[in-house]
Amino acid sequence: MTTSIFIFLLLFTIQHIRADCQNETSAESTFVYRRVCYFANWAAKRYDNISRLTPEDIDPFLCTHINFAFGKVLESLNIAPYEEDDLKGWTANSKGMYERILKLKEANPDLRVLLSVGGWTHASRGFNEVSKSAANIKTFVKNSVKFLRDNKFDGLDLDWEYPGAKDQGAEPHSKTGYTKLVKKLSRVFKREAERTGQEKLLLTCATAAARHRIEAGYEVEEVCKYFDFVSVMTYDYHGSWDGKTGHNSPLYAMRNERKKFREWNINSSMHVWEELGCPKEKLNIGLSAYGRAFSLFGETGMNNGKPISKKKSSIGVKASAAEAGKYTREAGVLAYYEICELLQNNPSNRVFWHRQMSVPYVASKSLWIGFDNVRSVTLKMQFLKEHGYGGVIIWSLDLDDKTGETCHEGPFPIFNAAKRELLILPEHLADRNKKCSDENVTVTSEHLHSKTTQMGDDLLAYRDRISLALCANRHEDIITMSKTYLTTFRDIPPNDRQMLYSTYQKLILDFNFKSYWKLISTGLKDKIELKYLESIENKIDYLCNDIVEMIDNYFLASKLNEDLDIIYTLRQRADFLFFNSSIARPATKQIILQSALRSYTEGVERSRLTLAINEPERVLIQLRKCACEVQLSNGSCSSETYFELVNEIQQMKSSSISCDPQLIGQMESYRLELDKLRFHIFSFLTIDERQVVEETCKQWYNLLRNSHQLAFHSVVQLHALIEDVPVPTKLGRVLPRWTRLTRDSSKPAQAIDPRPYGYIQQYLKRFRSDIKHLHIDVEQHDVSCRFVLCQLLTLFGPEQCSQGRQIRTFSVRFISHNPLLMKSQDIIQALRIFFQYDASKNHRHSLISCDLSGLTISLDDDTILLLTKNNPCLRKLNLQDQSLVCILTPFCILQIIDMLKSLEDLWIDMVSLSDEFILMLVMEEENEQKTSKRATLKHLGVRIRREEKFSDEIDISLWQKLREKYPHLKMTLNFGLTTPLNRIRAYMNANLRLPVQTLIINTPIPVVDELYLAADSFAGTLENMHICTSGQWAALTRTPNFTKAVVYIAYQCIHLRTLYVDVALNPDAIEDIYRLHPHLKEPGASKLLLTDCPTHTINPEDMGDLFG
């Protein structure tokens, strides 16, 4: 029974492989790059023989597809011919254009002819009406199928230029409507083919190349699922509408090009489509058989290809549309044969080659033309093949030299140049075609899985099956057949394993880049299918584990292995595990990394015994081992591993100086990667951690002692320490050892002992003129920590920094309880010394960010005014200290606003605000010069606490004026634990219309009504919401009405990005919230719990008159 099922499944698999191979390639099962040619129906109506092109003039084998341009989309939801003679000829006996173009298929049955609907002049007419509703789409699709079948077309090419483009008449629904239309067309085409037995109608499109058009008009990843191929119109990047010269279709960007135009080239446009999720094999690049011509103004003409003016390049000089060609008769456009004629008739018109853009251009004193010739077309086709794109479209057949008599390059030189290059297949595709088309390879289940064949004979059959699967691009079947082979013969020869490794890597990368990362990057704007995201992670996890299991069970124990095979297999095993760790859950990540590290380590040991010093594989394994250790240790690898790696690179380089320049270059790249890794590791270590690193070895000692760059970002942590047993270092020194105290530890006396912090002081003293970012954490309950903090702050005062300092961002934070409460005058005095450094005369030395919110001492007016006076370039200032009472006066805040003209982000307490503060922000200055210097406030953080009950309310009209003055202002409202309830309601008043972006409510009591008020008042602006509760009060807060209020917040606030709730919610409520905002399932985006997780612990007697 098992055998028969197995044979049935195998036959089924082989049938699908052959079917896919035939569908994907031509009738002979060969791979062919698409060559899509546009035939313009008006071309046959020209009178001269040079420009007139009829269907009979076209070589039937020149193209793989011909798009007939164009058909019309009517508002009656029908497709109609553009010209009267498309359906029927002008006379009774003459044939229509449709019939004449389709006659080419008699000579070439593999040719496919599609009807292209739309076009530039058609714009969005008709398409808007079609895409307006599902009913309209259904009617249009039904009519389209009938029209295409009645006229014997092979498919439909949508040339809507462009959905989402308001300047082209597209309506707001056009982007989503386009997706719905494409989806419906694809499904109906497929069902119609299954029902009638006819070949499925092809569905293709011509699309924009500029990023802004793409993002505005297409849901790329979705529509690419349904198109058979997507043709990107990578031409018309520049033209006379720019008012200056620019190439029609550059392959690459020009160096130093303006940011706006940096992506206006084929290379960038194609990468945009890939980046947004379209498979590259479905993409066609665009070529034009015409050039964009410019008439140059006066002295900005060219002399021997060089500008007469002082501009360095002929690109970007002022110009207008050149005179229309005598055949095409459109200003600014010249057909390829017209350009050839201009070059032949006027010797001053010379062709130059732009190396950076890889395209030709014509230049003379009065004329400039950007166009393509045989050379540039050949380069673009090579680019197409190198990047794995599926084909090319060319506009249009009538613009090429049809007879070859004008340009003397043979008939259709542009089209034939593309054809010649695309017929030369890359090696892997040529091999694939050979194996796919070999009629002698007849694969049956008996042939593939004969129990009587020897391993050597069946290995050939296995390779044939793998080649056939590769032909059909069915990677899953390669894995299935390899597993079947392993079950029978227990091994695959080392040379054949590479295909299996590549297959797993291909599938993993496909899942990772085409689905997983694209889903994350675009999902927050639109929809994010979290179940799909999870399935992608599971597939990557399964694939990594599957190949590792195969390596463990079969390959590592293989008798066919040589030493090099074992080394390579170990690295492959570790690589798959290391990759898997990037998407693994935290619980399993460490386990996976440790397993990878063991494989890398064993690979290193074996490579020492087997591989020559100049073998790159040896260094590569060592480098990856170091990277793995960095992941495991959160930022550092062991000195032993590091120096092994350094020695490997140095030995490898020294042993190959005279023999292999390419290898030397590879070693330099390893060294650069190593230097980056090392600098990255050291840069985020705190200063006390750098002391430990210094004592590891002399090289690291010298690096940390002399690296000024590492000092740019300095993090100081002052912990309470006690002396322990001294420890010898690797450099031979014996250093005192200090152990961190816990609250339960006992310390002999509260005497000041600065010895544990000597290295920190020396380091900051040595590099104080280099430090740009200074962040200090202090356990301020310890007297030694407070003493050292004061010394460090004084170190950066004006007396000791006479040579200048460069600190741009500064923060200090207390990280333990504060027994001194309001008596920390020594720290206040040290802060004043730190702020006395006067940067008002040299703004490069001014602080731009100062965060004092981590202090548990009250900041006074004198200290803050000293800070603002000497640092006029401050942009961010956080004054919300953690003291019990705010003593900053409204006068102080007014002075801050008056002095800090660049202030963008201010965090203060509501008690420090006043009507005058708002007035100063909103009033119009009479002096225009002063008005231009007024601070443009972008964010205002306001904390409201118990003392607010004693202050006056700010006039509602002033809040409204502030909002009008700064329409982009965002606010953070933070209601403290002791905020009176009536004050919470007052600031959530809908009449205030505060632009609240972040709302934090610390509360021990239910705030149901307040949440409803917040949802209604801040619906259009609220992005972040945090509802904190307090210990034993959580049960009081946890009510059905509270849960409903939280869900209402999620329903009303459409821009919600984060939601933290410390009170338990029921599962239904959590599910509703995630349904409304799926991105809240992302790590760190929300905290929605089924059990209480209180943020605070509070005693009832501390509540005071909380209820106001």
User: Looking at the predicted structure, is the pLDDT value of residue 452 above 60?
Assistant: no
Q: Which one is predicted more confidently, 823 or 452?
A: 823
User: Looking at the predicted structure, is the pLDDT value of residue 245 above 90?
Assistant: yes
pLDDT bucket at 611, cuts 50 / 70 / 90 = low
Q: H/E element holding 293?
A: strand 290-296
Q: What is the mean pLDDT of residues 923-949?
A: 65
Which of 98-107, 161-170, 953-962, 1071-1080 shows the highest mean pLDDT?
Answer: 98-107
Cα distance between residue 214 and residue 443, in whole Å: 45
Using a 10 angstrom Cβ sphere, with 0-12 exposed, 13-18 middle and 19 or more buried, the burial of residue 106 is exposed
Q: Which one is predicted more confidently, 769 or 450?
A: 769
User: Looking at the predicted structure, is the pLDDT value of residue 579 above 90?
Assistant: no
DSSP letter (8 states) at residue 133 = -
Using a 10 angstrom Cβ sphere, with 0-12 exposed, 13-18 middle and 19 or more buried, the burial of residue 307 is buried
Q: Which one is predicted more confidently, 363 or 564?
A: 363
User: Looking at the predicted structure, is the pLDDT value of residue 31 above 80?
Assistant: no
Name which of 833, 770, 775, 830 is nearest 805 in CA terms.
770
Q: What is the mean pLDDT of residues 437-452?
A: 36
Average pLDDT, the chain: 78
Percent residues over pLDDT 70 in the chain: 74
pLDDT at position 573: 86
Name which of 124, 119, 210 is nearest 165 in CA terms.
124
Residue for token pair 């600098």: 679
User: Looking at the predicted structure, is the pLDDT value of residue 803 above 80?
Assistant: no
pLDDT at position 78: 94
Cα distance between residue 455 and residue 115, in whole Å: 53
User: Looking at the predicted structure, is the pLDDT value of residue 530 above 70?
Assistant: no
Question: What are 118's two structure tokens?
Answer: 């739309």
User: Looking at the predicted structure, is the pLDDT value of residue 760 above 90?
Assistant: no
Rg (CA), the chain: 36
User: Looking at the predicted structure, is the pLDDT value of residue 29 above 50?
Assistant: no
pLDDT bucket at 613, cuts 50 / 70 / 90 = low
* 615 has catalytic annotation: no
For the chain, count helices (H), then strands (E).
39, 31
pLDDT at position 917: 79
> Cα 731 to chain center, whole Å?
45
Using a 10 angstrom Cβ sphere, with 0-12 exposed, 13-18 middle and 19 or more buried, the burial of residue 882 is middle
Name which of 363, 261, 252 is nearest 313 in CA terms.
363
- CA–CA distances in Å: residue 472 to residues 17, 25, 942: 6, 9, 62
Name which of 1026, 1021, 1040 is nearest 1096 in CA terms.
1026
**Is domain 494-610 in CATH 2.40.160.20, yes or no?**
no
Q: Which range is least confidently modeled, 93-102, 331-340, 666-675, 1051-1060? A: 666-675
Using DSSP's 3-state secondary structure scheme, residue 1059 falls into strand
Contact between 613 and 622 under an 8 Å Cβ cutoff? The reply is no
User: Looking at the predicted structure, is the pLDDT value of residue 832 above 60?
Assistant: yes
Q: Residue 973 region, left (φ>0) first, then alpha (ψ -120 to 50), else beta?
A: beta
pLDDT at position 1: 35
Q: Which one is predicted more confidently, 676 or 278?
A: 278
Name which of 765, 771, 814, 813 is nearest 792 in CA terms.
765
pLDDT at position 727: 52
**DSSP string across 785-842:** HHHHHHHHHHHTSTTTTTT-----EEEEEE-S--TTGGG-HHHHHHHHHHHTS--SS-
Q: What are residue 73's DSSP bridge partners?
A: 79
pLDDT at position 399: 95
User: Looking at the predicted structure, is the pLDDT value of residue 657 above 90?
Assistant: no
Contact between 318 and 361 under an 8 Å Cβ cutoff? The reply is no
pLDDT at position 53: 94
pLDDT at position 678: 61
Q: What is the mean pLDDT of residues 598-603?
A: 83
> Cα 984 to chain center, whole Å?
40
Question: What are 754's two structure tokens?
Answer: 């600065």
Q: Which range is least confidently modeled, 694-703, 795-804, 853-862? A: 694-703
Q: What are phi and psi of 997, to 5 degrees?
A: -95, -35
Q: Which range is least confidently modeled, 322-326, 367-371, 480-484, 688-692? A: 688-692
Q: Which range is least confidently modeled, 514-523, 694-703, 880-889? A: 514-523
pLDDT bucket at 748, cuts 50 / 70 / 90 = very low
pLDDT tens digits, 280-311: 999 999 999 999 999 997 544 455 445 444 44
Q: Which range is least confidently modeled, 15-24, 294-303, 1043-1052? A: 15-24
Cα distance between residue 248 and residue 334, in whole Å: 11
Q: What are phi and psi of 775, to 5 degrees?
A: -130, 125
Question: What are 463's two structure tokens?
Answer: 């390779």
State how beta strands 721-728 and 319-321 pair: unpaired
User: Looking at the predicted structure, is the pLDDT value of residue 841 above 50?
Assistant: yes
Q: Which one is predicted more confidently, 1026 or 530?
A: 1026
pLDDT at position 823: 55
Would you give the end-to-end CA distance of the chain in angstroms? 81
Q: Where are the domains of the chain?
A: 1-27+447-489, 28-288+376-422, 494-610, 710-730+740-748+758-875
Q: What is the mean pLDDT of residues 67-72?
A: 94
Q: What is the mean pLDDT of residues 1053-1081?
A: 86
Q: Which of 161, 274, 338, 695 is catalytic?
A: 161
Torsion of CA 118, 124, 128, 134, to 10 degrees: 40
Domain 28-288+376-422: homologous superfamily in CATH: Glycosidases (3.20.20.80)
pLDDT at position 139: 95
Q: Which one is predicted more confidently, 822 or 645?
A: 645
pLDDT bucket at 911, cuts 50 / 70 / 90 = confident
Contact between 115 and 148 under an 8 Å Cβ cutoff? The reply is yes
pLDDT bucket at 1082, cuts 50 / 70 / 90 = confident
Return the exposure string of 25-49: e unless at least 16 CB atoms fall within 10 Å of the residue's CB, then b.
beeebbbbbbbbbbbbbebbebeee
**DSSP string across 399-433:** GS-SSSTTTSS-SSHHHHHHHHHHTS--HHHHHHH
User: Looking at the predicted structure, is the pLDDT value of residue 721 above 50?
Assistant: yes
pLDDT at position 845: 75
Q: Which one is predicted more confidently, 628 or 356?
A: 356
pLDDT bucket at 612, cuts 50 / 70 / 90 = low
pLDDT at position 19: 38
DSSP letter (8 states) at residue 553 = I
User: Looking at the predicted structure, is the pLDDT value of residue 509 above 90?
Assistant: no
